[in-house]
Chain A
Amino acid sequence: MAGTLIVFWAFAGLAVVSALCCITRRSPVASALWLVVTLFSLAALFVLLDAQFLAVLQVLVYAGAIMVLFLFVIMLLNLGRAGPTDLRGPAGLGVGVLLSGLLLVQLLALRQAGLSPSVAVAPGAVARIAAEQGMVPAIARPLFGAYLVPFEITSVLLLAAIVGAVVLAKRRL
């Protein structure tokens, strides 16, 4: 158990630090590479939650395909140089720190309160479902059953985003 805890804290810390680096680096390439680190540590956290399939998908889709796309876009638009910082003076920084501090306090309040026992997932429940149904069906069945409607809406959402991107980017209007 202690080993799991050590792994958790290591990856959780890595996720937070790399996310911070991702938003504070001035160079877009550096930001994108830090994001890869964040996504990898999240995948490791998924493994700790017994969701190995999700972890693999996270690495394949996010850390792999989507990050490559990000880097391609940065390269094609020639954004490799570090841009100016977005923070406008100490006031902007102060407001940002204040708001994130507020969210942190809320998170601490959540930690104090804890979950009500009837909604908490029992330890090992996810692993048991995966053992009974197999890891992929445990995700696929709800995705194409109970959550079919949201799943289909996602495809329309992607289509609308593609149409929008083409409209904004094409040369002749």
Chain B
Amino acid sequence: MLKLDGLTKTYAGQRAASAISFEVLPGEVVGFIGPNGAGKTTTMRMIAGTLEPDQGRVEVMGHDVWSNRKAAQAIMGYLPEHAPLYDDMTPRTYLDFLLSARRVAHKQRQELILKAAEQTQIHDVLERGIEGLSKGYRRRVALAGALAHDPPVLILDEPSDGLDPNQKRVTRALIRDLSPGRIILISTHQLDEIATLCNRLILIAEGQVRADQSPREFAAQDPEGRLDEVFHRLTSMPAQSGDGPS
């Protein structure tokens, strides 16, 4: 289980996340949505152990991310925002680097690299320099880096950003294939992605959770079932006093 309990983070007097609490069970694909600056990336970074919360805690499969960071990070795959990569490497050397840092044996590394390359459809560019890859390929190389070690928990910050419709379709199919038994949390701006991919959505705005329900229940709040209308209404609500940007 992934458990967030009262996660709070403040940057220079601005509250980026305010007492965020929720739980995600294995098998759930959770869409994490909200307007720009809502606190999605901040929350995902706190889950991944790359940003320390001011208050609250994150537990991944029983491991506290801050008191037992290495154990928690070992079972997580994390795709950071903007999919940062080392331009001087090839996808193969990049994946090999990540896997060797995760203590995967050499022979097993080659198998996992090929598997991740197949899953993300980057096998044809495995030996090419990352610097020369298109945005779509770069995003998929970074995604391969997140799932290469076959983690039970995937934290993906905008995995389909920059992909063309065909690539998006492949990525969504991949996430669906990976979902049984896994915890998957996806940050996205694309509401259609939520409807087709996720069995639950969590909407945050101004650092607060505004909705936590199934996409069907979320859409049902609008007479025409329009996700964008419900999104607009919920994100336009003022923040509760004491929370949100000060």
Q: Do A and B share a complex?
A: no
B residues bordering A, Cβ < 8 Å?
none
